């Protein structure tokens, strides 16, 4: 089992759609960013990549890439889940919190949960809404933040393998200690962690 944490925040600005967990929510303003700025989905992606030891969202979906301009973050999530699978992981569960002064999130939580669950390939998804209680920038509606944790399980693909031979695939074995995550399959093109995540 591996656990990962994700955090993201985007500014609220006029003239943008508000998309949270893939759900378009009626509001006076939306989140600013390179993609659809779906802060919740971005936090989930970072939690997944973190758990798998695959870096961060900026490495997989660079904001410098025009391909991700106004991109659907749910599609980015689906691609991230594909990368996890390629690296031998499956999602056990995801829990997240959206921190927003407005709008009220309660009526949308079920829809967000369903959208995320569909891409994650598990129903073990939980989305919570939290008010910052008027405190600080988030409380003054300067932006919306999200946090997520993800638990992954390594798929036991080599369970059938004769015990001695399995050692030839260290990426899929229970690890002795810390280190040694499976190499990211997609990290190819000189991608290095970028400060500006794929927003």
Which spans of this chain sit near Zn ion (rule: CB under 5 A)? Answer: 8, 42, 199
Residue nearest Zn ion by beta-carbon distance: 42
Count of CA atoms in the C-beta half-sphere (13 A) of 193:
8
- Smallest distance, Å, CB 15 to Zn ion? 18
Q: Which residue lies nearer to Zn ion by CB, 91 or 144? A: 144
Tell me whether residue 34 or residue 108 sits nearer to Zn ion (CB atom). Answer: 34
Q: How far is the CB of 55 from Zn ion (least distance, A)?
A: 15
Element (DSSP H or E) covering residue 43: helix 39-52
| Distance of alpha carbon 88 from alpha carbon 122, whole angstroms | 16
Q: Which residue has the tokens 């992981």?
A: 89
Please state the closest distance from residue 8 (CB atom) to Zn ion, in A. 4
- Which segments of the chain are extended strands (E)? 2-13, 18-20, 23-25, 30-31, 89-99, 125-130, 143-154
- Nearer to Zn ion (CB atom), residue 42 or residue 108: 42
Q: What is the nearest approach in angstroms of Zn ion to the Cβ of residue 43?
A: 8
Nearer to Zn ion, 76 or 120 (CB): 76
User: By C-alpha distance, which of 171, 135, 163, 158 is closest to 52?
Assistant: 171
Q: Which is nearer to Zn ion, 25 or 154 (CB)?
A: 25
Asked whether 44 and 117 are in contact (CB, 8 A), the reply is no
Contact 72, 45 (CB under 8 A): no
β-pairing, 143-154 vs 89-99, is: antiparallel
């Amino acid at each position: 089992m591996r656990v990962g944490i994700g955090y993201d925040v985007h500014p609220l600005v006029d003239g943008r759609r508000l998309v949270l967990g893939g759900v378009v929510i009626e509001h006076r303003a939306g989140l600013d960013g390179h993609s659809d700025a779906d802060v919740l989905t971005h936090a989930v992606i970072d939690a997944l990549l973190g758990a798998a030891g695959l870096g961060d969202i900026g490495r997989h979906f660079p904001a410098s890439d025009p391909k991700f301009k106004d991109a659907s973050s749910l599609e980015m999530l689906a691609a991230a889940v594909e990368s996890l699978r390629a690296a031998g992981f499956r999602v056990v569960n995801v829990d997240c919190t959206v921190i927003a002064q407005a709008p009220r999130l309660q009526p949308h939580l079920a829809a967000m949960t369903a959208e995320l669950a569909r891409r994650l390939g598990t129903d073990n998804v939980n989305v919570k809404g939290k008010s910052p209680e008027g405190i600080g920038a988030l409380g003054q509606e300067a932006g919306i933040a999200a946090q997520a944790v993800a638990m992954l399980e390594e798929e036991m693909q080599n369970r059938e393998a004769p015990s001695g031979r399995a050692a030839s695939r260290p990426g899929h074995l229970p690890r002795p200690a810390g280190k040694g995550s499976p190499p990211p399959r997609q990290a190819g093109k000189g991608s290095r962690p970028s400060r500006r995540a794929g927003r």
